[in-house]
């Protein structure tokens, strides 16, 4: 009797201790993430114009209906989807190639592998400023390089052409993100047991068959996880656009994060801006839920 009571208080102590230890973190997440999330959800059903407060109030789904007819917003959503999908595809192709390359034995492998971390560590804003300087029409390294190797005869104003502006933004993004994909895929490659390849070789499988039947299927889960994460990150791209093109030319590179920012903090339409942010969240909700569930499962299994 006494023993059971003692055990119960011990369990109670553990329970209290658990809550005490996690309270500061939970409190911080509550204040900085959860409450703002709910608040902005509520705001998305209101008209909240700081510049014209007279008409402010609840308008139900009004903001959302207006957004579905807002050509500039829909255009920015399309640009974002295109940018993110192309980026993810290139990051996957490039990342996989780099990972396969680095999985070989060669002199200086450690150095090259360490180098992959450089673009990841760079502040995004410096990445943006760096590429802006490279794309510069008068003194940029891109123009100088292409004319010197004979691919172009005259300097080009890259960023005033919508096609090139979009393409170069994707390139700047891929430069920074592809090494991250490579690091993740390389780690996964190294967990594949070598005896699988030996067995494949014994069975007479050639290089391509070993890759497509052994490597690729085993890498698939990690490829899916990294690409989902990269897709979500792609949707949030902000620094690159503000610095390199500012959304131009003619709004052709204006991605949603920039549109939300401009609506909220320049036009001071907090309600409309919140609805816009939520609608964008809705578009990437499926990848977000997928990624959250998968990583939760992985970490719980530890």
Partner 1 sequence: MTKRPLIGKILLYTAVLALVFWTIAPYLWLVISSLSFKIDLVTVPLKWIPTRLTFENFKGLFFDNGEVTFNTGLFIKALINSTIISLSTMLISLPIGILASYAATRIKFKGNRLVLLAGLMAQMVPPIILVIPLYVILRYFDLLDKHLGLILVDVSICLPLIIWLMRGYFSSIPADLEDAARIDGASRLMALVRIVLPLAGPGLVSVMIFAFISSWNEYLFAFVFTNAAAKTLPVLIGEFSTKLGLEYLKIAAAGVLASLPPVLLALIFQRHIISGLTSGSVK
Going along the chain, which residue ranges are E strands? 46-47, 57-58
Q: How far apart are CA 175 and CA 182, in angstroms?
A: 12
CA distance 240 to 125: 7
In the complex with partner 1, the residue whose CB is nearer, 1 or 221, is 221
Is the CB of 1 or the CB of 172 nearer to partner 1? Answer: 172
The closest alpha carbon to 233, from 100, 40, 98, 91, belongs to 91
For partner 1, the closer CB: 1 or 227: 227
* Closest approach of partner 1 to the CB of residue 163, in Å: 21
Q: In whole angstroms, how close is the CB of 250 to partner 1 at the nearest point?
A: 18
- Please state the closest distance from residue 252 (CB atom) to partner 1, in A: 18
Shortest spacing between CB 43 and partner 1, in angstroms: 7
Q: Which is nearer to partner 1, 14 or 203 (CB)?
A: 14
Which is nearer to partner 1, 55 or 150 (by Cβ)? 150
Supply the minimum distance, in Å, between the C-beta of residue 166 and partner 1: 19
DSSP 94-134: HHHHHHHHHTS--TTHHHHHHHTHHHHHS-HHHHHHHHHHH
How many Cα atoms are found within 13 Å in the side-chain-facing hemisphere of 231? Answer: 22
């Amino acid at each position: 009797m006494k023993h059971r009571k003692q055990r119960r208080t011990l369990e109670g102590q553990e329970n209290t201790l658990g809550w005490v230890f996690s309270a500061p973190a939970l409190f911080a997440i509550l204040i900085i993430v959860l409450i703002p999330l709910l608040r902005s959800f509520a705001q998305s059903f209101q008209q909240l114009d700081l510049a014209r407060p007279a008409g402010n109030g609840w308008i139900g789904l009004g903001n959302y209906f207006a957004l579905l007819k807002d050509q500039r917003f829909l255009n920015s959503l399309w640009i974002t989807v295109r940018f993110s999908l192309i980026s993810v595809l290139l990051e996957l192709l490039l990342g996989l190639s780099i990972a396969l390359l680095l999985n070989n034995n060669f002199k200086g492998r450690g150095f090259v592998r360490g180098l992959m971390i450089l673009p990841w560590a760079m502040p995004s804003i410096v990445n943006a400023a760096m590429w802006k300087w490279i794309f510069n029409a008068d003194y940029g390294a891109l123009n100088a390089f292409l004319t010197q190797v004979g691919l172009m005869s005259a300097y080009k104003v890259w960023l005033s052409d919508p096609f090139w502006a979009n393409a170069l933004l994707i390139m700047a993004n891929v430069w920074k993100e592809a090494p991250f994909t490579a690091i993740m895929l390389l780690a996964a490659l190294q967990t594949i047991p070598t005896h699988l390849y030996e067995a494949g070789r014994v069975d007479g499988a050639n290089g391509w068959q070993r890759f497509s039947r052994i490597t690729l299927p085993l890498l698939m889960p990690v490829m899916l996880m990294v690409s989902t994460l990269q897709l979500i990150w792609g949707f949030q791209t902000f620094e690159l656009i503000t610095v390199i093109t500012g959304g131009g030319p003619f709004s052709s590179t204006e991605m949603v994060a920039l549109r939300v920012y401009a609506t909220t903090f320049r036009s001071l339409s907090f309600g409309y801006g919140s609805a816009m942010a939520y609608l964008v969240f809705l578009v990437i909700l499926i990848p977000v839920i997928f990624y959250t569930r998968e990583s939760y499962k992985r970490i719980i299994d530890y």
